[in-house]
């Protein structure tokens, strides 16, 4: 292993969906509806292995036009990757948790960008580059949701429908 506290052992592409929008070929260059305006969403999951020296991260990134009126070159770009990361023996549990959460997701995003650029490189207009995302915000939001108490209406309430 290298001198770093965390290393990527391997990654696997689980899913890649790219849909070229043929309507973009017939739209004129001065068509105001024609632009590269995408909304991007990302989600991730982390699993720590029992021995604590490895973690598995799953990253999903989905891009789609920001509105139905916009004519973009791609109507959908979605990718899901898994990565297995290992930690040096000196890495503390707290540091492992931080590295697994933040660095593994950022590393997989970089790989996802390369895969999508490679797959779309010969498309009219050139390759599609996944946008840069604020993973700190995405991770903090997910952690807050996981630690929030359950909402009412989850099926634990008494049946209030009159029986008749």
* Greatest mean pLDDT range, 20-29, 45-54, 114-123: 114-123
Residue 70 lies in a domain: yes
pLDDT > 60? residue 25? yes
- Which pLDDT does position 157 carry in this prediction? 47
- Which pLDDT does position 28 carry in this prediction? 64
Residue 134 lies in a domain: no
Domain that holds residue 67: 6-128
CATH number reported for the structural domain that contains residue 100 in this entry: 3.10.420.10
Residue 76 lies in a domain: yes
Half-sphere exposure of 125 (CA within 13 A, CB side): 16
User: What is the percentage of the chain residues whose pLDDT exceeds 90?
Assistant: 48
> Dihedral of CA 141/142/143/148: which sign?
positive
Residue 140 lies in a domain: no
Residue 146 lies in a domain: no
The CA-to-CA distance between both ends of the chain, in Å, stands at 69
* Residue (of 128, 126, 112, 47) closest to 80 by Cα position: 112
DSSP per-residue string spanning 40-83: EEEEEEEEE-TTSSEEEEEEEEEEEESSTT-B-SEEEEEEEEEE
Residue 15 lies in a domain: yes
Interval 44-55 mean pLDDT: 80
Buried b (16+ CB within 10 A) or exposed e, 57-73: bbbbbbbbbeeeeebbb
* Residue (of 38, 35, 57, 60) closest to 48 by Cα position: 57
- Which pLDDT does position 19 carry in this prediction? 95
Average pLDDT for the chain: 84
| pLDDT band of 152, cuts 50, 70, 90 | low
Count of domains forming the chain: 1
Residue 138 lies in a domain: no
Summarised one tens digit per residue, pLDDT across range 95-125 is 988 899 899 999 999 999 999 999 999 998 8
Residue 38 lies in a domain: yes
| pLDDT band of 149, cuts 50, 70, 90 | confident
DSSP state of 22: T
């Amino acid at each position: 292993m290298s001198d770093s506290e965390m290393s990527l052992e391997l990654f696997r592409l689980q899913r890649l969906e790219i849909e070229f929008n043929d309507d973009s070929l017939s739209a004129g260059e001065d068509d105001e509806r024609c632009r590269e305006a995408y909304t991007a969403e990302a989600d991730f999951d982390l699993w720590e292995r029992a021995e604590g020296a490895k973690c598995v991260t799953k990253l999903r990134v989905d891009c789609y036009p920001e509105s139905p009126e916009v004519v973009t070159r791609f109507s959908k770009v979605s990718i899901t990757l898994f990565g297995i990361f290992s930690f040096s023996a000196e890495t503390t549990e707290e540091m492992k948790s931080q590295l697994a959460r933040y660095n593994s997701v950022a590393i997989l995003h970089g790989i996802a960008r390369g895969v999508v650029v490679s797959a779309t490189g010969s498309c009219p207009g050139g390759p599609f580059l996944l946008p840069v995302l604020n993973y700190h915000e995405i991770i903090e939001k997910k952690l807050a949701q996981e630690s929030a108490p359950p909402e009412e209406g989850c099926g634990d309430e008494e049946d209030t429908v009159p029986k008749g």
